Chain A
Amino acid sequence: GENVEQHPSTLSVQEGDSAVIKCTYSDSASNYFPWYKQELGKRPQLIIDIRSNVGEKKDQRIAVTLNKTAKHFSLHITETQPEDSAVYFCAAFFTGGGNKLTFGTGTQLKVEL
């Protein structure tokens, strides 16, 4: 079935450093790859997404890259700040067997002062 693998499960960086989270997906027909951020005790919220016709997308300090050939995509956060501390989920939209969004297992990012 459809599968999204996410690494690492935990990531600790110093404030101001960059953070990178990587995901791979199984279905080559997937065409939409969002990233959600979930702060402690809060609901997941979309922070950035990319579609399969684009290789990279940026929004201020965050960027996402997509390699369709290798079936992997990554989230990059530059100049990390304490408020970036959260759980981040990648996801892939699978078009076979009923269009649905499958999530990765999450990355707990901690930005230390």
Chain B
Amino acid sequence: DVKVTQSSRYLVKRTGEKVFLECVQDMDHENMFWYRQDPGLGLRLIYFSYDVKMKEKGDIPEGYSVSREKKERFSLILESASTNQTSMYLCASSQQQGAAEKLFFGSGTQLSVL
């Protein structure tokens, strides 16, 4: 079974801190995604990547950046955390580059910015 692992289940950070959220998948998937989940707003796409060192902006990229130095790892970076970035962050992966197919989600990181 595909395993998508997010490094932290809960994180508490201060306003202005630089925050790294890490995601690793173990099935050699081409595509990786970062979503944030907020009540009443569903899952919103922040950034995605279809290849190593490649990144594309999603629907809400402002205030975030990403890094994909290796195929299995996709990092989300909050350069200067703000309170409105308090949210559940979900990483996902899928197999074929750019294809419309099943996403495998990680268990999420609940980030609180104080």
Contact = CB atoms under 8 A, between A and B. Distances in A.
Nearest to A98: B56
A106 B40 CA distance: 7
- The contact size tier of chain A is 20 to 34
B12 to A, nearest CB: 19
Nearest to B35: A103
B43 A89 contact: yes
Interface in A40-61: 42-46, 49, 51
Contact of A46 (B33, B48, B100, B102): B102
B59 A45 contact: no
Nearest to B42: A105
Interface residues of B, number: 24
B16 interface: no
B41 A105 contact: yes
Contacts of B108: 43
Contacts of B100: 31-32, 51, 93, 99, 101
Nearest to B107: A43
Contacts of A106: 40, 42-43
Nearest to A33: B100
B21 to A, nearest CB: 15
Contacts of B43: 44, 89, 91, 103, 106
Interface in B77-114: 90, 98-103, 105-108
Contacts of A36: 103
Interface string B56-71: 1111000000000000
B13 interface: no
Contacts of A102: 45, 59
A103 B90 contact: no
B102 A99 contact: no
Nearest to B106: A43
Contacts of B41: 105
Interface of A: 1-2, 6, 9, 31-32, 34, 36, 42-46, 49, 51, 89, 91, 93, 98-106
**Which 8 residue pairs across A and B have the least CB separation, nearest first?**
A32-B100, A105-B42, A93-B100, A103-B43, A43-B105, A103-B42, A99-B98, A98-B56
